């Protein structure tokens, strides 16, 4: 599908793996030029992106340096995809099962990381009166998911801040949207669900794969996992001129898991 993104410059944070990687691949497939910002480069960085920049989004100075290197090498950023995020690594039902000490790092990366990215990248888009931002949140940020309360709370904050940004930047022709994945088989999801699985009584315990597939069939109306590519397809569409009247929206790619009546 031609989305008119040829030679557009896209930054994908967390682009070395998971949903971020799928988004980088999708932009490249549409003819875009991609800078991946992540902690460590993938082994195939040269094939995945046009530029890799090592960046911890929780550190403002690293985000500023990453933008400088990207613009110096590729040019002004047309599209931002912010997919960098972490979970607490704890299964939090009830929420007191997650130690208080596990919260700060999640909030530093997921909330302050988004704040740093927004403050560094958005001003250039506003000045040029052009650009798109897509923030990867989660259905967990909409429903108070108990599986990982720090993660859920941070994703609710992402959704809200993206709406604030959309209102502020709309007069300058900059669009901001949020995509919420549902059940995606990523390393982050596995770490949380593994803790959930391991709590099952020994006499009822199945292999992780059998148990997780059964859970997905129970809670997702379409009855199957979503894939990183499913999420990336929506991200790239929202970044394209085909979605030029879409801003301030929170769009779920979740197989129908969350339905608002």
Give the integer Cα–Cα distance in Å for 61 and 152: 27
Question: Max CA-CA distance within the chain?
Answer: 62
First to last CA, the chain: 32
- Residue of 151, 161, 237, 257 marked active site: 151
Which tokens sit at 107?
A: 């909030």
- Is-cis flag, bond preceding 230, omega within 30? no
**Do the beta carbons of residue 216 and residue 225 sit within 8 Å?**
yes
Annotation marks residue 151 as catalytic: yes
Query: Which DSSP string corresponds to 172-209?
Result: GTEEEEEEEE-SB--HHHHHHHHHHHTTS-GGG---HH
Q: What residues act catalytically? A: 151
């Amino acid at each position: 599908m031609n989305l008119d993104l040829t030679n557009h410059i896209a930054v994908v944070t967390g682009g070395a793996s998971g949903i971020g990687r799928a988004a980088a691949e999708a932009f490249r497939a549409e003819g875009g030029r991609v800078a991946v910002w992540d902690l460590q480069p993938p082994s195939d960085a040269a094939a995945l992106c046009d530029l890799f920049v090592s960046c911890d989004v929780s550190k403002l100075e690293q985000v500023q340096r990453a933008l400088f290197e990207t613009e110096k090498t590729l040019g002004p950023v047309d599209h931002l995809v912010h997919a960098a995020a972490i979970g607490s690594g704890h299964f939090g039902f009830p929420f007191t099962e997650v130690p208080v000490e596990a919260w700060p790092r999640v909030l530093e990366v997921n909330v302050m990381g988004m704040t740093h990215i927004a403050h560094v990248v958005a001003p250039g888009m506003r000045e040029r009166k052009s650009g798109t931002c897509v923030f990867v949140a989660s259905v967990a940020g909409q429903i108070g998911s108990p599986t990982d309360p720090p993660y859920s709370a941070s994703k609710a904050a992402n959704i809200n801040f993206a709406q604030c940004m959309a209102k502020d930047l709309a007069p300058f022709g900059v669009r901001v949207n949020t995509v919420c994945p549902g059940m995606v088989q990523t390393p982050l999801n596995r770490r949380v669900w593994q803790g959930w699985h391991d709590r099952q009584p020994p006499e009822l315990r199945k292999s992780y794969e059998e148990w997780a597939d059964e859970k997905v069939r129970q809670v997702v109306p379409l009855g199957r996992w979503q894939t990183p590519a499913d999420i990336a397809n929506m991200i790239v569409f929202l970044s394209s001129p085909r979605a030029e009247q879409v801003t301030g929206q929170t769009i779920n790619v979740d197989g129908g898991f969350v339905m608002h009546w």
